[in-house]
Amino acid sequence: MDNLTHSMVGALIGQAGLKRRTGLAMPALIIGANIPDVDATCVLLGEMQHLALRRGLTHGPLAMLVLPLLLAVGLWWFDRWQARRGTRPAARLPVRFGWLWMLSLIACLSHPAFDWLNSYGVRLLEPFDQRWFHGDILFIIDLWLWLGMGSAIWWSLRRERRGANWQRPARVAIAATLAYVGLNAGITWANERHAKLSAPYPLVAVANEVPVAFWRREMIIGAGDGRWLVAGQPVGVMPLGRCDLAAARRHDRAVDAFLFWSRAPVILRDGDVLLLGDARFAAGMSRDRFSVPLPAGTCRGTG
């Protein structure tokens, strides 16, 4: 999910009452909910290498052990540093390292859990297993989550300033968010089941989420050979079997990185150039970002 959503998840957890457990709880929750995205810096290695490395190691089990601990140590040190300089806010609660680490861990775990919800997916077991896990449940930027969680945070903070029960709005929002995720999971399950039980009886069915209209899905179906139907329209100019992708991977690092990342590889054409794309992003403005030119001679019968 986008980083605003991750931040609001951390803030809601805090406003549900956990921010009273220790000083610097809210920074631990909000930073912790975003810190697995430190792998975004991999863009410096190039666009395709960035794709291959994103949502992998920093979202896996080793990172879930290391990142919360580093964050807790950093915040604990920051509190001590402010105390030595005489700049520590008097209203800040005492910092309890155990709670600081626990809240950092909860926040960090929320990040891959929410990333799993969309069709982009996450490598939950990296580096032990490089499989993608994906729920195909929510679009990566969900307007309704923004409105619901944002309103609840505002309401909770407003009630806190007035001395009222400020935890309740956040707790209601957490329950509503889980119900919303469950509703969308049911929509996805029904669409994918219907697609697999209907002609042409595909082996693969992806109920791709769409922005705003959470009740709709863009169905991507295929036989596993690189030819796909996206929203009923054929995508792909030839089967993957007509292309020596193994050789292309050996000779082109970008192709290798793209195939490592891709969940639904497809051969596309742009004029006289063949592209390796992904059926999830084969149409619209995202096509250029999620495709890479194939070396000449990779595919047979391209004249």
Q: Are residues 25 and 112 in the same domain?
A: yes
Q: Is the peptide bond before 265 cis (omega within 30 degrees of 0)?
A: no
Convert the pLDDT of each residue in 47-101 to its tens digit. 788 888 889 999 999 999 999 999 999 999 999 999 999 999 999 999 999 999 9
Please, which pLDDT band fits residue 149 given cuts at 50, 70 and 90?
very high
Mean pLDDT of 104-119: 96
pLDDT classification of 193: cutoffs 50, 70, 90: very high
The answer to whether 16 touches 224, Cβ cutoff 8 Å, is no
Judged against a pLDDT cut of 90, whether residue 170 lies above it is answered with yes
Res 286: pLDDT: 66
Digit-coded pLDDT (tens) for 17-51: 999 999 999 999 999 999 999 998 887 777 788 88
The 10s digit of each residue's pLDDT in 245-285 is: 999 999 999 999 999 999 899 999 888 899 999 998 887 66
**In-domain check, residue 302:** no
112 in a structural domain? yes
**Band of the pLDDT at 223, cuts 50, 70, 90?**
confident
Look at residue 206 and tell me if it is in a domain.
no
User: Length of the chain, please?
Assistant: 303
* Same domain (yes/no): 122, 264: no
Question: How many Cα atoms within 13 Å fall on the side-chain side of residue 137?
Answer: 21
**Cβ contacts of residue 112 below 8 Å, gap of 6+?**
36, 55, 59, 60, 64, 122, 124
pTM of the predicted protein model: 0.91
Please state at what angle helix 143-162 crosses helix 3-15, rounded to 10 degrees: 30
Claim to verify: residue 15 and residue 90 sit in the same structural domain: yes
Please give the mean pLDDT across all residues of the chain.
93
pLDDT at 179: 98
Question: Looking at the 3D structure of the chain, how many domains does it have?
Answer: 2
Residues 10, 55 share a domain: yes
Task: Residue 19: give the domain boundaries.
Answer: 3-186
